[in-house]
Amino acid sequence: MTNSFAGMVAVLAEKAGSILTEFSRRGFSVENKEGMEWVTEADYRAEDFLRDELTSLLPGSAFIGEESWNGEYPSPPMWIVDPLDGTNNFASGIPFYCVSIALADAEGLSLGCIHDPVHRETFMALRGGGAWLNGETHGSFRGKGSFPSYPRNGLPLFPHGK
């Protein structure tokens, strides 16, 4: 996998982020998915865009999208996508959400791309090839121990969409 291929994926993630930004500006419908989870029309639109573009970028690849996945795992290569990672935040007007894209091959994950459209940050990593933030090489974690993790608090959220 080349850096130019990764760059094309980053551009698609940014375009999907633009779709989310447009919905955030003009409003959107919200549906209950399960439990306290929501899905918005922005989720569907960004997923449709990414399915079309990513499978065209890598012909013969399969696609698993959070909103359309049927529960079965296709043969690799496969794209694994959450078009709006943080839907509850997005629907509540909390500016912390992103587009998440991964590519898996027969050996496992080979590419990961996270685009945060609010803060205009795109994180990219390639198996054996390093990591970047907005196209600049990014060093590895240099702290001691591990990153902290925070369990979901389960507080109800309220949509600000239509």
What CATH number should be reported for the domain holding residue 47? 3.30.540.10
Overall average pLDDT of the 121-125 stretch: 95
Range of the domain at 99: 3-137
| Residue 121 pLDDT greater than 60, yes or no | yes
In a domain, 147, yes or no: no
Q: Do the domain assignments include residue 93?
A: yes
Instruction: Report yes or no on 144 lying in a domain.
Output: no
Is 10 a member of any domain? yes
Confidence (pLDDT) at 30: 80
pLDDT confidence tier of residue 150, bands split at 50, 70 and 90: very low
Distance CA(5)–CA(127), nearest Å, equals 13
- Looking at the 3D structure of the chain, how many domains does it have? 1
Rounded to 10°, the helix 3-26/41-57 angle is: 160
For residue 152, being part of any structural domain is answered with: no
* Distance (Å) of CA 40 to CA 10, 29, 81, 156: 23, 6, 16, 17
Cα distance between residue 63 and residue 47, in whole Å: 10
**162 occurs within a structural domain:** no
Whether this model's pTM surpasses 0.85? no
Is residue 159 predicted with pLDDT exceeding 50? no
Q: What is the pLDDT of residues 9-60, one digit of tens each?
A: 999 999 999 999 999 999 887 878 777 778 899 999 999 999 999 999 999 9
Of the candidate ranges 53-57, 123-127, 135-139, 149-153, the one whose mean pLDDT is the lowest: 149-153
Rounded to the nearest integer, the mean pLDDT of the chain is 85
Mean pLDDT along residues 111-121: 97
In a domain, 154, yes or no: no
- Does residue 84 form part of some domain? yes
